[in-house]
Structure 1
Amino acid sequence: MNLFPINAGNFKLDGGAMFGVVPKSIWQKTNPADANNMIDIASRCLLIEDANRLILIDNGMGNKQSEKFFGYYYQWGDFNLDSSLKQYGFHRDDITDVFLTHLHFDHCGGSIQWNKDKTRLETAFKNAHFWSNENHWKWATEPNRREKASFLKENILPIEESGQLKFTTLPEQNILEGSPLNFDIFFADGHTEKQMIPLIKYKGNTIAFMADLLPTAGHLPLPYVMGYDTRPLLTLNEKETFLNMAADHNFYLFLEHDAHNEIITVRHTEKGVRLKENFKTQDIFN
């Protein structure tokens, strides 16, 4: 098995929204804001080369939305999904499976693109299966009013229409072992219904793709929960469960949204689970 970090683009989000009830005077120490109160955010996806499968976990915002839409998110840097794939000798047509942690636009927007003459939308990975789960799919396609702006139908419905959609099964408890993609899945409901956190066994270690359960290293303290989360008290409990497990077993936490911290480990302290070490992806994947 080989692992590759895939940068699908950087953008900015409001720091207050990212940290909920935590005061700016506290969160800006780890996540400094610009003059507009915006903080740096990454779309750091993960590519898994495993035997005859090439699995991409999440794929960023994509590029099909309007200039007005992207204007809200202050994109920065020169990264994009295609150039990141090319860096490792791959093309999007090589992808066999696209695993979507959840269907918010900044995680799945790259799934769908315009065709050449911009007359219809099509899947951007023509040879891939797209993986979600039935509970989350229903949640996203029948959105509540709080999340409706994050579940864009143009990102979601064409996947089902293409015939490329597949669902994982749901576990009786919150961890699914032996999923169809050869990694375990931790299911979390605080951010959104049945978000899926992949747990990948790699060279005797566990790599956890943290998605929005832990957006940045600055979110390690339990009360630091995003304003975007639909069930913040549930997120708090899920973070506690997961971070205790990560500290007990020395998981490597792959941070999808932290523009400046790629992989971290955590440890138990008197204040709770806190940062232990910080790594570059090449330190762990090579």
Structure 2
Amino acid sequence: MKLYPIEAGNFKLDGGAMFGVVPKAIWNRTNPADSNNMIDIAARCLLIEDGNRLILIDTGMGNKQSDKFFSYYYQWGDHSLDSSLKKVGFHRDDITDVFMTHLHFDHCGGSVQWNKDRTGYEPAFKNATFWTNEDHWKWATNPNPREKASFLKENLLPMQESGQLKFIERSNTPFMEKSELGFGILFVDGHTDKQMIPHINYKGKTLVFAADLLATAGHIPLPYVMGYDTRPLLTMGEKAIFLDNAANNDFHIFLEHDAHNEICTLQQTEKGVRLNEVHSFDSIFN
């Protein structure tokens, strides 16, 4: 097995929305805002090369939305999904599986693209199976008013219509020790229903793809919950269990949305679980 971080593009989001009830004077220390109150955000995906399988976890926003849509997210930097894949020797047609932690547009928008004549949409990975879970699919395709703007039909339905969509089979336990794709999955419901958090055993370490359970290293303190979460009190309970487990077992947390830190580790302190160290991916695994 070999893993590769894949940078799908950087953007900005409102810092207040990202930190909920936490005052700006506090979160601005770790995630400094610009003059528009926007903070730097990454769409950092993960590529798993495992035998004959090439599995991509999340796909970023993609590029099919309108200029008006993208104007809300202040894209910056030179990263793209295709250039990042090329850098590690692959093309999107090589991908055999696309695993989506959840179906918000910044995690799955890159899974679907315009067709050649721009009359409709098609899967952006023509040889891949797209993986979600049935409960979350139902949640996303019949969205509540709060999340409707994040679950875009053009990101979802083409995967099903192509016949390339499959559901992860799961038990009733929050943690699945091993999925069809070879890694463990933690199911959490605070941010959105049945978000999936991959746990990958790699080179003697547990690498956790944190998705929106832990957006950035600045979100580690327990009350630091995003305003986007549908069930913030549930997030706090799920996060408390996750943080303790991560600190006690020396998990390496792969930060999807932290534009400046790829991986962090945690430690127990008198104030609760806090940041231990931040690392680049290469410094740990290469």
- Shorter chain as denominator, the TM-score bin is over 0.9
Cα contact 2:203–2:285 (8 A) shared by 1: no
Cα contact 1:213–1:239 (8 A) shared by 2: yes
111-120 vs 131-140, which moves further: 111-120
Cross-structure match for 1:147: 147
Give the secondary structure class of the aligned counterpart of 2:186.
strand
**Structure 1 residue 171: Cα displacement:** 2.5
- Residues in 2 aligned to 1:17 and 1:199: alpha-carbon distance in whole angstroms: 27
Cα contact 1:177–1:185 (8 A) shared by 2: yes
1:141 is matched by which residue type in structure 2? T
Note the alpha carbon deviations across 1:67-86, whole angstroms, 9 max, x for none. Answer: 00000000000000000000
1:63 is matched by which residue type in structure 2? N
**Structure 1 residue 170: Cα displacement:** 2.5
Note the alpha carbon deviations across 1:62-102, whole angstroms, 9 max, x for none. Answer: 00000000000000000000000000000000000000000
1:95 is matched by which residue type in structure 2? I
Cross-structure match for 1:285: 285
- Residues in 2 aligned to 1:18 and 1:191: alpha-carbon distance in whole angstroms: 12
Note the alpha carbon deviations across 1:5-64, whole angstroms, 9 max, x for none. Answer: 000000000000000000000000000000000000000000000011000000000000
Unaligned runs of 5+ in 2: none
- Residues in 2 aligned to 1:118 and 1:101: alpha-carbon distance in whole angstroms: 28
Matches within 5 A, 1:62-211: 62-211=62-211
Cross-structure match for 2:26: 26
- Residues in 2 aligned to 1:123 and 1:199: alpha-carbon distance in whole angstroms: 26
- Residues in 1 aligned to 2:151 and 2:41: alpha-carbon distance in whole angstroms: 19
Give % identity.
73
Give the secondary structure class of the aligned counterpart of 1:268.
strand
1:79 is matched by which residue type in structure 2? H
TM-score for both structures, normalised by structure 1: 0.99
**Structure 1 residue 137: Cα displacement:** 0.2
- Residues in 2 aligned to 1:64 and 1:192: alpha-carbon distance in whole angstroms: 24
Q: Runs of at least 4 residues of structure 1 off by over 2 A?
A: none
Note the alpha carbon deviations across 1:127-168, whole angstroms, 9 max, x for none. Answer: 000000000000000000000000000000111001000111
- Residues in 2 aligned to 1:166 and 1:203: alpha-carbon distance in whole angstroms: 29
**Structure 1 residue 119: Cα displacement:** 1.4
- Residues in 2 aligned to 1:21 and 1:179: alpha-carbon distance in whole angstroms: 36
TM-score for both structures, normalised by structure 2: 0.99
Cα contact 2:168–2:180 (8 A) shared by 1: yes
**Structure 1 residue 169: Cα displacement:** 1.7
Note the alpha carbon deviations across 1:169-225, whole angstroms, 9 max, x for none. Answer: 222221011100000000000000000000000011100000000000000000000
- Residues in 2 aligned to 1:247 and 1:226: alpha-carbon distance in whole angstroms: 21
Give the secondary structure class of the aligned counterpart of 1:278.
strand
- CA-atom RMSD in angstroms: 0.5
- Residues in 2 aligned to 1:171 and 1:45: alpha-carbon distance in whole angstroms: 26
